[in-house]
Amino acid sequence: MNNTAEALLVAYFGIVFRRTVFLAIVVLAIAGCRGASKSGSASLKDPQVTVAVQSAGAETTVSQETQASVVSTISDYVQNGMLDPIRTGNDAEDLTNYFTPDALTRVMGDDAEVMLDNGFASASGKITGEFSQFSLNALADTQATISLIGVELTLKISGPTSDGDITITREGNLVLSPDGDNWKIRGYSMSVQRSGKGVDEAVKKAER
């Protein structure tokens, strides 16, 4: 084989090798993407908020900032205490930003079965959370300062896990008090019912 033919052969196999490697990367990337979609995701729809105020003093209103802070605290709690545990199959982690210390002790302890969604197999598709009720009630003291906010809510979470489809419905209320610039959950009265393959479907309640 002369030098020219040898050079053409090397170039040909070089091109074939590079294309093979490129194709392999593409195939692996596509496979990877498909695999990722099977590990699931979780999202929470923004609630439609209704607002009412009871004041022991002059009439007052709940500011947009306060409403946003309350919605943020509750949404983040739902995301971290319910949706993420289902998505990952791991127990809820740090919830200190959403509960007062006393309430957190109960939520992470005796009331965890009601307040958190630990113990599910990880999600195999999209888990969605949606509030069908989010009624914000504020209590103002004699100085017309908003001191407590209670939220009556109904929340439905549903989607597929690797053990099958699940549906979780919560009804009850959360009571929040101011903590610096934020609002934290200090009390609750909540019931939960879960359904799905192998799931305990009894209604469970917790109150604090």
Partner 1 sequence: MTRKIKRLLLWVGTPLATFLLILSVLFAAWLNGTRIPLASGATYLKVTKTGEASFNGEPTQPTFILIVGNDYRPGVEGRRGDAIHLIGINPELKQGTILNFPRDTEVAIPGNGTNKINAANAFGGARLSAETVGNLVGVSVPYVIEADFGQFVSLINAIGGVEINVTRPMRDSNSGTSFDPGLLKLDGNQALAFSRDRYSFPSGDIARTQNQGEVILAGFKAFRAGDGSIANKFTTLSTLMRHTSLDGLGVNDLFSLESLASQIDPGNVRNVTVPVQNVGRGSNLSPTAEAQAIFADFRDDAVLQSR
Residues near partner 1, by CB under 8 A:
52, 54-56, 102, 106, 135, 137-142, 147-148, 150-152, 173, 175, 177, 186-187, 189, 207-208
Instruction: Return the number of the residue (6 or 102) whose C-beta is nearest partner 1.
Output: 102
Instruction: Return the number of the residue (76 or 152) whose C-beta is nearest partner 1.
Output: 152
Smallest distance, Å, CB 208 to partner 1? 6
Residues present in the chain in total: 208
Instruction: Return the number of the residue (116 or 174) whose C-beta is nearest partner 1.
Output: 174
Q: Give dist(CA 15, CA 9) in Å, integer.
A: 10
DSSP string, 112-151: HHHH---SPPPBSSEEEEEEEEEEEEEEE-TT--EEEEEE
Our measurement of the distance from residue 97's CA atom to the centroid of its chain's CA atoms, rounded to an integer in Å, reads 14
Instruction: Return the number of the residue (41 or 173) whose C-beta is nearest partner 1.
Output: 173
Q: Residue 29: which H helix or E strand, with range?
A: helix 3-38
Question: Which residue from 139, 133, 132, 117 is spatially nearest to 183, judged by alpha carbons?
Answer: 139
Residue 155 in tokens: 């929340």
Under a CB-based contact definition with an 8 Å cutoff, are residues 119 and 42 in contact?
no
Smallest distance, Å, CB 67 to partner 1? 16
Smallest distance, Å, CB 29 to partner 1? 51
Instruction: Return the number of the residue (84 or 111) whose C-beta is nearest partner 1.
Output: 111
Smallest distance, Å, CB 135 to partner 1? 8
Smallest distance, Å, CB 63 to partner 1? 18
